[in-house]
């Protein structure tokens, strides 16, 4: 926003800040919260504290103290924001994803050389996992978690360093096979890692960041489920959960959603295995000559081997594809061709029916555009069997809104501009950026407000 645009909505922003910062006990904290929001909303190349303070004409140390050392409850503000977002947006679905935050150095919490889908490569970065309420026209984050690689976990950093050293040694030997071992001895294993020293170094940098003792390495999908559980404690549940293949490929993630009775539509790779919808498990009979003289387990099994989702779709054929339009884009209606099948996803982690041991039926959706030799995208959905093709595709495709959020959160509101090195500071910054994003979303939803596009 320009200074004039911000002045035009100043009263709205102040009322919004009074509402969302109501859990803050002190009036000076609430005032600084509103000031920080103004700094995030004002135009400017950097949204770190010093540049924001200069544009606002305030002392940047006051903002820094508010974000890094002041005592206020981030979780209470987040819950308040989530409730306001869900009420205002009335989401069609919630979307789960993660985004990379490029960083220099090794001191920012969670920073490491790791793959970021946002960056499309391995880079030195932090990764934040988020849950968003989405529709085709509006969306907003509901929660955040900072992903911690094993190198930030005191229990796992040492073993991870040993594993990395061994892998490096194997790569060296593969690339230089003619190198011989030293005379009178053996070549080093490449794994001479002082685990105790690594562990102590990790503990020291965790302490410098003020990282809670209970926080450690957990898979990204676990962080997403934790956020869903936390929001559910406050009466907020997704109508449908959508995610890309980074989450959808994980059967444990899908099982966690099933256990919570959360319907989903998730992308996954065509190599995932499934049985046909007609497949029926049978109880194995015992001939009396089984291994160790014991009868087989009485759990029913599928006698046929599961095949890949790609093979299921290929067997159905391109002629089964239906043309479906899911929304209006900037250049007209968006439509493509899709194959719809009912299958039973395989895997020992997939929950089975307690009555007959059957795997659950799910929708398999494959986008197979005209002119393509094979499908380009696959989804698995737990929506009811009666769901129409149009609705199935609407849910499958609605995940695009989360990319819209990340773009605005970063380019306009400085999501990845935080330069502090504290655990608490990172979480407070992303919470305040979420508040600024929700304020803009509310303005756009109000026809009387002159909000920037």
- Reported as a single tens digit per residue, the pLDDT across 340-365 is 999 999 987 888 888 888 999 999 99
Is residue 300 scored above 60 in pLDDT?
Answer: yes
Is residue 57 scored above 70 in pLDDT?
Answer: yes
Judge whether 220 lies within some domain. no
In a shared domain, residues 377 and 269:
yes
Is residue 339 scored above 80 in pLDDT?
Answer: yes
Question: Which candidate, 282, 352, 344, 257, places its Cα nearest to that of 309?
Answer: 344
Judge whether 437 lies within some domain. yes
Question: Which candidate, 447, 451, 436, 450, places its Cα nearest to that of 20?
Answer: 436
In a shared domain, residues 386 and 259:
yes
**Beta partners for residue 126, in sequence order:** 101
State pLDDT tens for residues 62-107: 899 999 988 899 999 999 999 999 999 999 999 999 999 999 989 9
Judge whether 195 lies within some domain. no
In a shared domain, residues 254 and 338:
yes
Domain boundary among 398, 415, 435: 398
| Beta carbons within 8 Å of 66's beta carbon, 6+ residues apart | 29, 32, 33, 36
Angle at which helix 400-411 crosses helix 423-444, to 10 degrees, equals 110
In a shared domain, residues 380 and 425:
no
Percent of the chain with pLDDT over 70: 92
Judge whether 427 lies within some domain. yes
In a shared domain, residues 261 and 386:
yes
Q: Are 109 and 211 in contact (CB under 8 A)?
A: yes
> 133 is written with which tokens?
């309420």
What 3-state DSSP class applies to 66? helix
327 conformational bin, left if phi > 0, alpha if psi -120 to 50, beta if neither: beta
Distances (CA, A) of 114 to 111, 147, 301, 372: 8, 11, 39, 33
In a shared domain, residues 321 and 375:
yes
Per-residue model confidence (pLDDT) at position 434: 97
| CB neighbourhood size of 118 (10 A) | 19
Cα Rg, the chain, nearest whole Å: 26
Q: Give the total number of structural domains in the chain.
A: 2
Per-residue model confidence (pLDDT) at position 449: 58
Judge whether 119 lies within some domain. no
In a shared domain, residues 389 and 413:
no
Of the ranges 30-44, 156-170, 244-258, 303-317, which one carries the lowest mean pLDDT score? Answer: 156-170
Judge whether 208 lies within some domain. no
In a shared domain, residues 276 and 373:
yes
Sign of the torsion formed by the C-alpha atoms of 41, 44, 45 and 47:
negative
Query: How confident is residue 450, by pLDDT bands cut at 50, 70 and 90?
Result: low
136-140, 218-222, 401-405: range with highest mean pLDDT? 218-222
Distances (CA, A) of 229 to 69, 153, 262, 328: 28, 23, 11, 34
Place of tokens 């997939």: 350
Of the ranges 43-52, 177-186, 292-301, which one carries the lowest mean pLDDT score? Answer: 177-186
| Beta carbons within 8 Å of 213's beta carbon, 6+ residues apart | none
User: Which domain range does residue 75 map to?
Assistant: 3-81+406-444
State pLDDT tens for residues 204-230: 999 999 999 999 999 999 999 999 999
In a shared domain, residues 384 and 266:
yes
pLDDT, mean over the chain: 90
In a shared domain, residues 365 and 433:
no
Judge whether 25 lies within some domain. yes
In a shared domain, residues 418 and 385:
no
Could you give the CA distance from residue 239 to residue 91 in angstroms, rounded to a whole number?
8
In a shared domain, residues 321 and 413:
no
Per-residue model confidence (pLDDT) at position 181: 47
Judge whether 410 lies within some domain. yes
Per-residue model confidence (pLDDT) at position 52: 92
Distances (CA, A) of 45 to 63, 104, 164: 18, 18, 38
Q: State the average pLDDT over residues 387-395.
A: 97
């Amino acid at each position: 926003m320009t200074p004039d645009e911000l002045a035009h909505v100043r009263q709205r922003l102040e009322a919004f800040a009074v509402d969302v910062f109501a859990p803050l006990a002190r009036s000076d904290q609430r005032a600084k919260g509103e000031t920080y929001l103004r700094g995030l909303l004002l135009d400017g190349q950097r949204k770190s504290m010093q540049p924001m303070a200069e544009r606002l004409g305030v002392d940047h140390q006051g903002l820094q103290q508010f974000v890094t050392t002041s005592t206020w409850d981030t979780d209470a503000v987040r819950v308040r924001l989530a409730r306001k977002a869900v009420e205002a947006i009335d989401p069609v679905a919630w979307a789960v994803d993660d985004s990379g935050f490029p960083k220099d150095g090794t001191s920012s919490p969670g920073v490491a050389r790791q793959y970021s889908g946002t960056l499309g490569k391995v880079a030195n970065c932090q990764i934040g996992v988020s849950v968003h309420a989405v529709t085709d026209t509006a969306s907003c984050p509901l929660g955040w978690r900072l992903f911690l690689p094993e190198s930030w976990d005191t229990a796992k950093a040492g073993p991870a360093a040993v594993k990395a050293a061994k892998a490096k040694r194997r790569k060296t030997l593969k690339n230089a096979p003619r190198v011989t071992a030293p005379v009178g001895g053996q070549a080093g294993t490449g794994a001479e890692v002082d685990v105790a020293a690594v562990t102590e170094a990790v503990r020291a940098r965790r302490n410098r960041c003020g990282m809670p003792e209970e926080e450690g390495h957990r898979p990204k999908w676990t962080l997403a489920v934790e956020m869903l559980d936390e929001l559910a404690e406050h009466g907020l549940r997704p109508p449908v959960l959508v995610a890309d293949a980074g989450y959808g490929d994980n059967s444990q993630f899908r099982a966690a959603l099933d256990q919570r009775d959360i319907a989903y539509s998730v992308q996954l790779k065509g190599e995932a295995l499934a049985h046909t919808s007609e497949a029926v498990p049978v109880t194995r009979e015992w001939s009396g000559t089984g291994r160790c003289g014991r009868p087989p387990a009485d759990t029913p099994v599928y006698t046929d081997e599961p095949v890949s989702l790609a093979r299921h779709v290929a067997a159905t054929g391109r002629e089964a594809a239906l043309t479906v339009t899911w929304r209006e884009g900037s250049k007209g209606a968006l439509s493509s061709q899709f194959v719809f099948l009912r299958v039973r996803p395989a895997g020992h982690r997939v929950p089975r029916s307690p009555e007959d041991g059957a795997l659950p039926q799910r929708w398999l959706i494959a986008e197979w555009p005209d002119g393509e030799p094979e499908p380009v995208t696959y989804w698995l959905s737990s929506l009811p069997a009666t769901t129409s093709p149009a609705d199935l595709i609407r849910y499958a495709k609605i995940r695009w809104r989360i990319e819209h959020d990340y773009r605005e959160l970063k380019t306009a509101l400085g999501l990845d501009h935080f330069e502090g090195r504290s655990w608490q500071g990172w979480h407070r910054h992303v919470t305040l950026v979420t508040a600024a994003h929700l304020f803009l979303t509310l303005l756009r939803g109000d026809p009387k407000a002159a909000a920037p596009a």
